[in-house]
Amino acid sequence: MQASEARPGLGYAIVSAYERAMRFAAGSMMATIVIIMITQVTARYVFNSSLIWAEELCRYILIWMTFLLLGMSYQKGEFISLEMLPETLSLTARRVTRIVMSVPTLFFLALMTWAGWTYAARFDNQTIPALDFIWESIAGGTLNISIRWVYVSVSVGSALLFLHIFVDLLLRAGRLWRGEPDSTKTPPDSGEIA
């Protein structure tokens, strides 16, 4: 699912917009975490007062950031992999193995998407204490944002990773079927010759 591989048109525009949105989300979330933690350290060591909500809110943002960026990490070849068996195979066998191994991964991700959503639904009535505390100190009331939105990150991240792997599977299978070389980018230090 790389914009550089897509043909110009609607698909290219969608993939480009998705990549920009993910980069923006990652930058925004990381900046938010840095600002909150700098504020926390300053409050603790300069004003001798601690922000009791800072660690909890940063944890939730980090969870969302991790799951949102799983697909982008896969796309860039930044996942850990064991290369002992594939290194002993021919190029064609290596390509087929990668395609075949995508199927159980897709099944697992579909299961994680469903199970994550089901699990998150159990927490509809529980609110996020950090946000309630912040809002109560500012406006005098509570926001009542369900902690479900933290747990839903598992489903969203699994679904996005599913899409990345599924598109990669289709591209690789199509190139193998047509007898074209596999032009999917691999990390420079992986030793894999696509």
Distances 108 to 78, 101, 184 between C-alpha atoms, Å = 19, 11, 23
The C-alpha atoms of residue 8 and residue 28 are separated, in whole angstroms, by 28
Average pLDDT over residues 147-153: 89
Q: Which stretch of 65-79, 91-105, 108-122 has the lowest confidence by average pLDDT?
A: 91-105
Question: Is residue 107 domain-resident?
Answer: yes
The C-alpha atoms of residue 17 and residue 8 are separated, in whole angstroms, by 13
pLDDT in tens, 14-27: 888 988 999 999 99
- Any idea what the Cα angle at residue 125 is, between residues 50 and 152, rounded to 5°? 80
pTM value?
Answer: 0.76
Average pLDDT over residues 161-183: 83
Q: Which stretch of 3-17, 52-66, 95-109 has the lowest confidence by average pLDDT?
A: 3-17
- 8 A C-beta contact, residue 101 and residue 160: no
Helix, strand, or coil here: 2? Answer: coil
- In b/e form, how buried is each residue of 125-156, taking b as 16+ CB within 10 angstroms? eebbebbbbbbeeeeeeeeeebbbebbbbbbb
- 8 A C-beta contact, residue 51 and residue 43: yes
Domain that holds residue 162: 10-79+86-178
The C-alpha atoms of residue 21 and residue 25 are separated, in whole angstroms, by 6
8-state DSSP, 7: P
Question: Is residue 193 domain-resident?
Answer: no
- Binned at pLDDT 50, 70 and 90, residue 159 comes out as very high
**pLDDT value for 160:** 93
Question: Is residue 163 domain-resident?
Answer: yes
Question: Is residue 69 domain-resident?
Answer: yes
Question: Is residue 187 domain-resident?
Answer: no
Only one residue has tokens 């899409």, namely 163
Question: Is residue 16 domain-resident?
Answer: yes
- Per the structure, the count of domains in the chain is 1
Bridge partners for 127 per DSSP = 146
Question: Is residue 185 domain-resident?
Answer: no
Question: Is residue 4 domain-resident?
Answer: no
Residue 79 neighbours by CB under 8 Å, 6+ apart: 73
